[in-house]
Amino acid sequence: MKKFNGYDDAKKAAESIGRLPVGAYICKIMNVKFVEGENGNSDRIDVMFDIAEGDYKDFFKKQYDANTSEDKKWKGKKSVYVPKDDGSEKDGWTKNTFAKWTTNLEKSNPGYSWDWDENKWKNKSIGIVFGETGTVFEGKQITFTEPRFPVCIDDVRAGSAPVAKFVAKNGYVENNGSTDTSFINVPDGSEEEIPF
C-alpha cells in the first residue's frame, strides 16, 4: 500500500488527543438544540459543550479537528431529557435530572435564572462529571469516558465534585481492569483440568 498524503499529520493529531480522563471539568456550552421526541420518546435538549479550563481545554474541538472522516460528529454532547409529566417513576427521575441541569447552570452563572428558554444555555458555563463506561462493540469489550451529570463549577474548582461510578453496558464484564476476556483465572493449586 502506498502511504497517502497527510498521514503523518493525522497520526500526530490522533496521538496527541488521547482519551479524556475520568473526573469533573468546567465546560462551556457551545450550542443547544431542542429535539422533539418521536414514537413515544421524550423530547430532549442536546447540549454541545467543550472543556473551558485546565489541561484539557478545547478537548472536543481538537478531537473534532483531528477527525478526518466525512461523517465526523462533535463528541462533547449530552442529551438532557424533558419530563413527559405523566406521573410515572421514570418521569420523576427525568424531572430530578432536568432540575440538576437548571440548578447547576444557575449556580455556575451568577445572574442567570432558568426561564424555560433552553437557547439561553448557549455560552453558559457548567461543571460536568465524566465517568468510565464499559461496553461490548463488535464482539470486543471496550471502555470509554462519557459525560454523566452536571455540577456547579465551584465544586469542580474546589475538588469537591462527586465521582462517577463505573457503568457496564451490553454484557460488559469487569475483570480487574483488563478488557481481555480470552483468559480465565485458575486458582493456584487447583486440581481441576484446565478447559482447553
The pLDDT, as a whole number, for residue 170 is 87
Mean pLDDT for 10-23 is 71
Cell of 134: 464499559
Name the β-bridge partners of 45: 34, 80
The pLDDT, as a whole number, for residue 5 is 73
CB-based burial of residue 169 (10 Å sphere; 0-12 exposed, 13-18 middle, 19+ buried)? exposed
pLDDT in tens, 23-50: 999 999 999 999 999 988 899 999 999 9
Mean pLDDT for 41-69 is 95
Name which residue leads in pLDDT, 17 or 132.
132
Name which residue leads in pLDDT, 70 or 32.
32
The pLDDT, as a whole number, for residue 13 is 52
> What's at 24, amino acid-wise?
A
Helix axis angle for 59-66 and 7-17, nearest 10°, is 160
Whole-Å CA distances, 153 to 79, 80, 195: 19, 18, 53
Which DSSP string do the residues of 118-177 spell out, in sequence order?
A: GGGGTT-EEEEEEEEEEEEETTEEEEEEEEEEEE-HHHHHHT-PPPPPPEE-TT----TT
- Whole-number average pLDDT of the chain: 86
pLDDT in tens, 130-143: 999 999 988 899 99
The pLDDT, as a whole number, for residue 175 is 67
Mean pLDDT for 11-15 is 53
Mean pLDDT for 101-123 is 98
